[in-house]
Amino acid sequence: MNWGDTEEEAAFRRSVRRFVRDAFPAAYRPDPHAENGLEPEDVRGYNWPADLRSADATRAAGARAWAAALARRGWIAPRWPRRYGGADLSATRAFILHEEIMRAGKPAVNGLGVFLLGPTLLVHGTAVQKAEHLPPTARGERVWAQGFSEPEAGSDLAGLCTRAVREGDQYVVNGQKVWTSLGHHADWLFVLVRTGSDPGAPRHRGITFLLVDARSPGITIRPITDIRGAAPFCEIFFEDVRVPVANRVGEEGMGWYVAMDTLSFERAGLGTTIKFDHALTDLIAYLKTEHGAEQLHPEWDHGLRSEIARRYIEVRVSHQLARYAVAREDAGEVPGHEASVNQLFSAELHQRLARTGARAFGPHGLLWRGDETQPAPLDGAFTHLWFDAVAATFMGGTSEIQRNVIATRGLGLPSA
Ligand SMILES: Cc1cc2nc3c(=O)[nH]c(=O)nc-3n(C[C@H](O)[C@H](O)[C@H](O)COP(=O)(O)OP(=O)(O)OC[C@H]3O[C@@H](n4cnc5c(N)ncnc54)[C@H](O)[C@@H]3O)c2cc1C
């Protein structure tokens, strides 16, 4: 296991750094206050799909230009084959690429379409589906959202009840999805629906995986406002929505198995590790300023130094877990329960790091943004991270579910 870069990888890293420095559009100012930044590959709350749909024409044009610059090198979807707009990069190089983009504080492009839907189509899609959907996604021209969860189906995903009934060469879909990240910015949705009606069959049978044009008649999308007053996700209602049978991925009734592959492509902490690194570096730099140093005064300290040292070690561990995952991928191994180890560790670290940061600011940690007379330290970044972190132990599968997976599939312990 190589924990650092080889010479070739170090050269590649330098070339990415140069590219980001030279190719990032000067006029593009990602919105740092959009508060849409729940996805792991977002840095400082930036969110490219929200910028793409921004009412600010310069920002929207900047988001398009950044996508075009990356797409010219196949770097929006670097792991995909070149014929679909990718760059055929190894998992390690793709990781280095994203690491450098994020380290430079620039937004990644088209996360869900690239990391979840694309690999799913490469394995399960028809030739027509791949040709239709992969190239525009790799150019940043087609944004995807994942419609799996429903009001009564989250951890218990097999309990979903959005129904699709076949009529000729179409499915007619009725039901509701919820917590769909960035669904209100999406062009297309990948959704799970129930097609089977045999009450005696196991619940995970009879589920089908569909690709749905988000502008189809009968779809209503309502953004959901979260604790920060932002709307990073939405609920989606389907009323007699007609979806061509040609948009089905895999066999009818076998969508559960397709979806399990989709979930295994979640990169399990690969993006968050950079986000944490950023946050901790900023925090340490702040504590070395005159204002920050006051917080380390013995009256405030209460073990803050050792707490920050612990966070530093944990961020290093999270980085090594990510490197280990990509090295395994390059060795042709499929992530199993290790993906849950990474996801669980990074989700809980997210919350610990946010708490440490908020503590380090003392009473200033209560400031959301502040004003000219009393600016919030680091523009309130850690207060925001704290709120952002609430969802961390839910969004990619809850901590309890990850522990169940590690215990049963990883350690071979009996189910509860
Ligand atoms: C910010 C955010 C973004 C999201 N984005 C998306 C998205 O883009 N697409 C999408 O489809 N979904 C999305 N989700 C939904 C997410 O997948 C679900 O929230 C998650 O699967 C948990 O489901 P639930 O909310 O229904 O909670 P529940 O499943 O109802 O869980 C409630 C509690 O019960 C516990 N629990 C449940 N079952 C067990 C068990 N068997 N053993 C032990 N404990 C258990 C859970 O751990 C949790 O603590 C998002 C959620 C969030 C918060």
CA count, 13 A, side-chain hemisphere, 163: 6
300, pLDDT greater than 80: no
pLDDT at 46: 59
d(CA 402, CA 261): 16
Q: What is the mean pLDDT of the chain?
A: 89
271, pLDDT greater than 80: no
Average pLDDT rounded to a whole number, residues 180-203: 90
> Beta strand pairing status for 144-147 and 188-194?
parallel
- The catalytic residues are 266
Q: What is the CA 346 to chain-centroid distance, rounded?
A: 13
268, pLDDT greater than 60: no
Record: fold of 144-252 = Butyryl-CoA Dehydrogenase, subunit A; domain 2 (2.40.110)
State in Å: Cα 395 to ligand 1 middle. Answer: 6
Q: Would you say the CATH fold of 272-410 matches that of 144-252?
A: no
Look up the CATH architecture of domain 7-138: Orthogonal Bundle (1.10)
pLDDT band at 270 (very low <50, low <70, confident <90, very high): low
Please give all residues whose beta carbon lies within 6 A of any atom in ligand 1, as ranges. 38, 146-149, 154-156, 179-181, 233, 391, 394-395, 397-398, 400-401, 404
Mutate to test the pocket of ligand 1, among 388, 394, 402, 405 (most ligand atoms within 8 A of CB): 394
At 23-32, the pLDDT tens digits run: 999 999 887 6
22, pLDDT greater than 90: yes
State in Å: Cα 146 to ligand 1 middle. Answer: 14
State in Å: Cα 129 to ligand 1 middle. Answer: 30
Which residue's CA lies nearest to atom 38 of ligand 1? 155
Q: Is 224 helix (H, G, I), strand (E, B) or coil?
A: strand
Number of H helices, E strands in the chain: 16, 8
At 133-176, the pLDDT tens digits run: 999 999 999 999 999 999 999 999 999 999 999 999 999 999 99
Average pLDDT rounded to a whole number, residues 8-16: 97
Q: Spell out the domain ranges in the chain.
A: 7-138, 144-252, 272-410
Record: fold of 272-410 = Butyryl-CoA Dehydrogenase, subunit A; domain 3 (1.20.140)
Question: Are the C-beta atoms of 210 and 190 separated by less than 8 Å?
Answer: yes
